[in-house]
Amino acid sequence: MHKILTIGEILVEIIATEKGDGFRQATPLVGPFPSGAPAIFIDQVGKLGQASAIISRVGGDDFGHVNLARLEADGVDTSGIAVDPLATTGSAFVRYRHDGSRAFVFNIRDSACGTISLDDNAIALVQSCSHLHVMGSSLYAPSVVESILAAIDIIKAAGGTVSFDPNLRAEILESPGMREALRTVLAKTDVFLPSGAELFLFTEAKTEADAIAELLASGIRVIVVKRGAEGASYFDAETTLSLPGFAVEEIDPTGAGDCFGATFVTCWLNDASPREALELANASGARAVMISGPMEGASTRAELEAFISARKD
């Protein structure tokens, strides 16, 4: 059986309950919710019953506990999460603007997960996994980049595969070395999961069709373009397939892309057809936006199947 690994930030998310522009005045908040893009991704993998693990760091504080408890409850191997009693768990404050966009205040680089590294225990964990998922948002600090690139080499040398979701946030795009690291990861990617303009991150092509052709020619095996409420499209050398999104009320979009990606990658590794993988992933993203909180909308396989069949009647 495949075991899926990810490496990167674990955070708590604290959400402003009223819409508005950022955090320059006092505003009511709710949280802490377990979060961090790779953590949401791997929690969704675990909930599907797929073997899964994450390499990260938290502080010896309640924010770390919130995350460890949730990941363990959902079946994720947390042995690669180091607990640093002298550090503080990462955090993200998020507030929705009236136009639906989000403003973040992140504490990532200077938190416990700013110093993720591959010790002997973590290397043994990497060696036990057959697939690595990389979130572009995790390339925020040199030690994390180094850990991810080393893990890619170990996993690919053993015949494993790599998926990559750029998951870019304006707030962190200009981290030192991030662009170069994104380019390096893309060159080793088997399954690429961009949304919107992320497709064109490193292409010369300016249209979607040309960008897809360019990326497939460069050695990427599968590209899945996420289109929010519009659904998603699948591309490989033989197949092009678009499926519309499920019609749901969007309560909180955070985590949709991560749950979508986790479900797609899990299905892909288990040899699902492109249509089945895309449909289950669309359902996973749709269920995620219906529930407030980044990781709160992760689904079991039974929940995804019930959700889809209720919409086919």
- How many Å apart are CA 53 and CA 8, to the nearest integer? 11
Residue 177 contact, options Mg ion, ligand ATP, none, Cβ 5-8 Å cut-off depending on partner type = none
Residues contacting 201, CB < 8 A, separation 6+:
166, 168, 182, 186, 194
Strand order in the sheet with 102-107: 29-35, 11-16, 90-96, 102-107
Q: Using the rule CB under 6 A, which residue among 32, 66, 226, 307 binds ligand ATP?
A: 226
Q: Are 212 and 237 in contact (CB under 8 A)?
A: no
Among 3, 221, 227, 301, binds ligand ATP (CB under 6 A): 227
Stretch that binds ligand ATP, among 111-119, 183-191, 250-258, 264-272 (CB under 6 A): 250-258
* 161 lies in the binding site for ligand ATP (CB under 6 A): no
Contact (Cβ atoms closer than 8 angstroms) between residue 54 and residue 42: yes
Nearer to ligand ATP, 10 or 126 (CB): 10
Residue 186 CA to residue 104 CA, distance in Å, equals 26
What, of ligand ATP, Mg ion, none, does residue 246 touch, CB below 5 to 8 Å by kind?
ligand ATP
**For ligand ATP, which residue of 60, 75, 177, 253 counts as binding (CB under 6 A)?**
253
Q: Which residue of 147, 161, 167, 175 would you call a contact of Mg ion, by CB under 5 A?
A: 167
DSSP structure string for 162-224: EEEE----TTTTTSTTHHHHHHHHHHT-SEE--BGGGGGTT-S--SHHHHHHHHHHTT--EEE
Residue with the two structure tokens 């030690």: 143
- Give the residue, chosen from 38, 194, 257, 297, that forms a contact with Mg ion under the rule CB under 5 A: 257
263 near ligand ATP (CB under 6 A): no
Q: For the CB of residue 196, give the shortest distance to ligand ATP in the complex, in Å.
A: 7
Smallest separation (angstroms) from Mg ion to the CB of 165: 6
The H helix count followed by the E strand count for the chain is: 9, 13
Question: Which among ligand ATP, Mg ion, none contacts residue 78 (Cβ within 5 to 8 A by kind)?
Answer: none
Query: What is the binding site for ligand ATP (CB under 6 A)?
Result: 167, 195, 226-229, 231-232, 245-246, 248, 250, 253-258, 260, 282, 285-286, 289
